[in-house]
Chains A and B, each alone.
Chain A
């Protein structure tokens, strides 16, 4: 286990091994997202209350789930970076943050586009929406801190500490709909319970969630590999790679 951990913690090992995953993830995300969009936009039925606007959920829900899980992943990487000082974990924190920030913005934007016809407004200072906006600011804060002070180790540690503290916001987002009176409806799709909706609706939703994850790992791997060669540009393995 520790051997595996240290092997994958080596930038050289990670860069070479992860290269194999890029075409696989590109193909998987393209196919799954394409099929998911086709299913969600053309085949899935309209909702009896929301009408055709329910189709926005097939992009909004996966974006919201991915925004939260990418933050959790960033916080775990930050913790690893603080405890074991693994270079790759620090690079992972730095590379997840911009992707997570974009996905959080996408979740907020698609949520607003659904909110206008359903609630009559693009935005309300509701607990779920506000805590998700805080999630975006946390991603932005981590990114700003990590890029401050010329990429120094202190900046890396400060960004990691913020990422770990920000983890407190995740249960607030999750339970905000139960703890406070909110306009946002509770989750209708959980890992443990049977979905309250028919397969014709949760099928495309699940497909889009899987597609979003495949896309995320693809985008993150490309960014992380770029960051690794940039940081290791003076090392022998990168110099060797440049020659080829």
Chain B
């Protein structure tokens, strides 16, 4: 471990705002895009399925 205490880790040598903002932004971008893509695909499949069912009924 590069840090001896949690406080030292959280302080990031005075660069905490920049370091954690970078990682947060990365997690938000990578996670957000994946989530949005999967939801979009699932929603489209559901819409098509219900349209199909209503056409058959």
Contact = CB atoms under 8 A, between A and B. Distances in A.
A146 interface: no
B2 to A, nearest CB: 6
Contact of A242 (B21, B25, B52): B52
A66 B39 CA distance: 24
Given A41-B23, A51-B13, A53-B13, 17 more contacts: A41-B19, A42-B2, A45-B2, A52-B13, A55-B22, A59-B23, A63-B26, A102-B29, A106-B25, A113-B21, A114-B18, A219-B30, A222-B34, A222-B38, A223-B37, A229-B45, A242-B45
A59 B22 contact: yes
Contacts of B2: 42-46
Contacts of B26: 59, 63, 106, 110
B33 A99 contact: yes
B37 A219 contact: yes
Contacts of B19: 41, 52-53, 55-56
Contacts of B15: 51-53, 117
Interface residues of B, number: 28
A48 to B, nearest CB: 12
Q: How large is the interface on A (under 10, 10 to 19, 20 to 34, 35 or more residues)?
A: 35 or more
Interface in B26-42: 26, 29-30, 33-34, 37-38, 40-41
A110 B22 contact: yes
Interface in A21-54: 33, 37, 41-46, 51-53
Contacts of A33: 30
A218 B37 CA distance: 10
A225 B37 CA distance: 10
A226 B44 contact: yes
Contact of A230 (B21, B23, B33, B44): B44
